[in-house]
Structure formats: C-alpha cells, structure tokens
C-alpha cells in the first residue's frame, strides 16, 4: 500500500482507527445488517451514536451546564450567517485576521451593523492584532482562532466584555479551551474532528431569542436544540466518523496530551524552517499556528519552489502547496497528523538543501 504523508488543510488526515471503524460500519452498522449510510436516523442504533458523540464533546472539552452541542450541515460558511441572524440586533464587532474572518464579517454586514474592531490586513494577515479594545456596546465580538491560509493562531482564551463568538474550525480539540469564556463556538469538522459534511456548534442558551427579526426555522439555533440536531436528516456518516475521532482523542489522553503532541510537532517543523537557509516562515513568530505551518522559499532560492514541490511529492508529501491566494508551502499538522510525517517532511527539506543549497 502506498504511504502518503498527508498535510492537506482539509479534508485532512484522520485517525486510522476512525477510518477503520467507518469501513466496518459501511458494511454492517452495529449488527443491523445495514450500512451506516442506510440506517434510519430515527433508529435506536443511530440515536445512541448521536448521544455518545454529544457526551464526548461535553466530556473532552469540559463544557459547562447551560450549553448545547449541535451537529448541523452547511459548513462554517453557513454559520457566518447563522451567527448574525441569531445574535445581531444592534451592532457586532469582528476581529479581521484573514479570509474566513472577512467572509464572516461580510455576511454579518448583510444582516445589520457589523464592523471590524481590529485588522491585520495591513501586513497580509501575517500577525494577530493586539492592543485593541472591544467596545462594550456590541451584541457580540467574533474571532477566528486559527487562520489556515496565513498560519496565525490565537492561542489563549481571551476575556471579553461582550458575548464572545469563535470560529474554531481548524484548531478545535487541539488544546484545552475554557468554554465558559465563549457564548458560541462553531466550526467545520474536517480539520481536527472528522470528515467534511458536519458542522459543530456549542451555544450558550441565554444568548438566544434576543433578536426581533423573523428567524426561519432552519436558521434558528433553538429549532436544532429542541430537535436535538435532527430537525432534518443529519449528515449521519460524517457524525459517525466524528464520534470515532473523539473516541481516539479521549484514548490518547484528551486535550492536554493532544496539545503537547501538537506543540512538539510544530516545534520540530518550525525549528527546521528557521535552520534551513532555503526556507523561511511567513507568520509573526509569536503568532505562529501549531495547526497550519506556512513557509516560503528564501528570496535567494525563489526559483527552486516548483522543484521542491516536485521533490517533496516524489517522497510522499501530500498537500504542502500553499493556498492559491498566497503561494509558498503549507503543512497542516492537525491532531491526527503523525510525528513520523513531520520528520519525513523535515528529512525531505534537509535532503533538498544538501542538493541545492
């Protein structure tokens, strides 16, 4: 079997045990004689998966009472609209740290009064803004905790005088999070907690039902709370794989262990980028993401970029091409990316340096 070192930004590498469980369930789900993609979402067998998955989210993230965990369709991009529809009455503030933060702000502006409180656009989103003040008259303040395209990350849970909303699509479950500091957390599963097709939402009850606008049933968080994420047929296969992925996270020691592993992996690769004369990082050092490690060829070796891409691909590296909007390279080192893949990429970089440096 071909060995691939998967650094794709999403859909991304998954735990092997989750993949194997999915293969088994596609053949026979819980001894039902049916595939997991055939079984009724109203069956007791499926409801047990939904209940277990919700319970794992609450346990692993230590989610306090007063919050609901939802599994929805539409991706994080749909949540850009959901958030504004459900929470924006007078004014909302956004921290503009990249493409996805800008898109979230755009959707909010289509609903009402939404502004960028601070932005790092002046340096092509290569850092996280600091020293700004969150206005106290906001309905909520929205942040994107990890920026996949530019490789920056907000690594701590900030204090906010207003409801704090976070898109955690690409760093959820990578570290312990103080959920009590957030009014709402959402994200696509396809980075750290499953395959594409399901979106997680963690929402505090007391922030809902405050807007005066009409909310379509499908866009009202309360609908999905009342129907336990089954107002319409949920993305069953994606939720099944998510559940198996959460089991794996728990089995390796939970988020403290996961965070240490992620820090160690990122340090290995950043150390090589800083040491190797052919490469250089693009994000401010203090804001470097431990999930998406972005780098480019040093100016002297710019003409070697395509050669390195080919060189790396021949050695099993998959998905290291930077986002089309910024170029360069990006290694996404999400939870399930094994340290062996990091070491293989480092060896590849060192070998390329010996030949071309």
- CATH number of the domain where residue 340 is located: 3.90.1150.10
Locus of tokens 């600091």: 130
What mean pLDDT do residues 14-32 have?
Answer: 96
Q: How far is CA 336 from CA 16, 193, 255, 339, in A?
A: 8, 9, 13, 9
- Name the nearest CA neighbour of 112 among 86, 75, 77: 86
Domain boundary among 199, 232, 251: 251
Residues 90 and 229 in one domain: yes
Q: Is 191 a catalytic residue?
A: yes
What local confidence, expressed as pLDDT, does residue 324 receive? 87
Q: Which of 57, 100, 139, 171 is catalytic?
A: 100
Residues 237 and 258 in one domain: no
Residues 112 and 214 in one domain: yes
Residues 240 and 258 in one domain: no
Residues β-bridged to residue 292: 332
Residues 139 and 207 in one domain: yes
Q: Is 100 a catalytic residue?
A: yes
Q: Which of 57, 155, 191, 287 is catalytic?
A: 191
1 occurs within a structural domain:
no
Mean pLDDT computed over every residue of the chain: 97
Neighbour tally for 271: CB within 10 Å: 11
Q: Which of 167, 171, 220, 287 is catalytic?
A: 167
Give the distance between the most distant pair of CA atoms in the chain. Answer: 65
Residues 72 and 194 in one domain: yes
For residues 175 and 264, the answer to whether their CB atoms sit within 8 Å is no
**Which range of residues forms the domain containing residue 271?**
254-356
Could you give the CA distance from residue 187 to residue 10 in angstroms, rounded to a whole number? 12
For residues 241 and 194, the answer to whether their CB atoms sit within 8 Å is yes
11 occurs within a structural domain:
no
pLDDT at 107 over 80: yes
| Span 292-337, pLDDT tens digits | 999 999 999 999 999 999 999 999 999 999 998 899 999 999 999 9
For residues 256 and 64, the answer to whether their CB atoms sit within 8 Å is no
Domain boundary among 225, 251, 277: 251
Supply angle C-alpha 136, 142, 144, rounded to 5.
145
338 occurs within a structural domain:
yes
Domain boundary among 226, 251, 276: 251
Q: How far is CA 152 from CA 10, 125, 126, 132, 156, in A?
A: 17, 8, 7, 17, 13
**3-state class (DSSP) for residue 244:** helix
- Name the nearest CA neighbour of 104 among 135, 143, 140: 143
pLDDT at 356 over 90: yes
Could you give the CA distance from residue 8 to residue 320 in angstroms, rounded to a whole number? 7
What mean pLDDT do residues 340-345 have?
Answer: 98
DSSP state of 30: T
239 occurs within a structural domain:
yes
Residues 269 and 351 in one domain: yes
| Span 146-158, pLDDT tens digits | 999 999 999 999 9
For residues 12 and 188, the answer to whether their CB atoms sit within 8 Å is no
Residues 210 and 271 in one domain: no
10 occurs within a structural domain:
no
pLDDT at 16 over 90: yes
Number of domains in the chain: 2
What local confidence, expressed as pLDDT, does residue 2 receive? 74
- Name the nearest CA neighbour of 330 among 170, 206, 187: 170
- Determine the length of the chain: 357
Query: Which domain CATH number covers 106?
Result: 3.40.640.10
Q: Is 167 a catalytic residue?
A: yes
What local confidence, expressed as pLDDT, does residue 3 receive? 79
Instruction: Lay out the sheet containing 329-332: strands in order across.
Output: 279-281, 292-297, 329-332
Residues 300 and 328 in one domain: yes
Residues 245 and 271 in one domain: no
**3-state class (DSSP) for residue 185:** strand
For residues 100 and 79, the answer to whether their CB atoms sit within 8 Å is no
pLDDT at 139 over 70: yes
Neighbour tally for 309: CB within 10 Å: 15
3 occurs within a structural domain:
no
Percent of the chain with pLDDT over 70: 100
Radius of gyration of the CA atoms of the chain, in A:
21
What local confidence, expressed as pLDDT, does residue 357 receive? 79
Locus of tokens 């992925």: 245
**3-state class (DSSP) for residue 353:** helix
Percent of the chain with pLDDT over 90: 98
Angle, in degrees to the nearest 10, between helices 75-87 and 99-111: 40
333 occurs within a structural domain:
yes
4 occurs within a structural domain:
no
Residues 84 and 73 in one domain: yes
What local confidence, expressed as pLDDT, does residue 1 receive? 66
For residues 295 and 279, the answer to whether their CB atoms sit within 8 Å is yes
Residues 231 and 269 in one domain: no
């Amino acid at each position: 079997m071909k060995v691939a070192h998967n650094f794709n930004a999403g859909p991304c590498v998954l735990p092997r045990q989750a993949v194997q469980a999915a293969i088994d369930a596609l053949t026979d789900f819980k001894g039902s004689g049916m595939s997991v993609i055939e079984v009724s979402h109203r069956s007791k067998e499926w409801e047990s998966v939904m209940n277990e998955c919700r319970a794992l989210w609450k346990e692993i993230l230590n989610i306090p009472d007063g919050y609901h965990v939802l599994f929805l369709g539409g991706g994080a991009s749909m949540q850009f609209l959901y958030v504004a529809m459900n929470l924006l009455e007078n004014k909302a503030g956004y921290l503009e740290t990249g493409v996805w933060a800008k898109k979230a702000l755009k959707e909010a502006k289509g609903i009402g009064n939404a502004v960028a409180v601070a932005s790092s656009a002046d340096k092509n989103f290569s850092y996280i803004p600091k020293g700004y003040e969150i206005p106290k008259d906001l309905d909520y303040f929205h942040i994107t905790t990890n920026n996949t395209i530019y490789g920056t990350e907000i690594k701590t849970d900030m204090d906010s005088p207003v409801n704090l909303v976070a898109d955690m699509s690409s760093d959820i479950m990578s570290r312990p999070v103080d959920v009590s500091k957030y009014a709402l957390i959402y994200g696509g599963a396809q980075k750290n907690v499953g395959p594409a097709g399901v979106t997680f939402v963690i929402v505090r009850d007391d922030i809902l039902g405050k807007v005066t606008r009409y909310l379509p049933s499908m866009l009202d968080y309360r609908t999905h709370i009342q129907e336990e994420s089954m107002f319409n047929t949920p993305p069953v296969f994606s939720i099944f794989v998510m559940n198996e992925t959460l089991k794996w996270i728990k089995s390796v020691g939970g988020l403290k262990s996961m965070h240490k592993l992620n820090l160690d992996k990122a340090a290995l690769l950043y150390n090589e980028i800083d040491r190797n004369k052919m490469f250089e990082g693009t994000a401010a050092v203090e804001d470097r993401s431990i999930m998406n490690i972005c780098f480019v060829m040093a100016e002297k070796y710019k003409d070697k970029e395509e050669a390195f891409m080919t060189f790396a691909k021949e050695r099993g590296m998959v998905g290291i091409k930077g986002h089309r909007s910024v170029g360069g390279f990006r290694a996404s080192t999400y939870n399930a990316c094994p340290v062996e893949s990091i070491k293989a990429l480092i060896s590849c970089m060192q070998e390329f340096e010996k030949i071309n440096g």
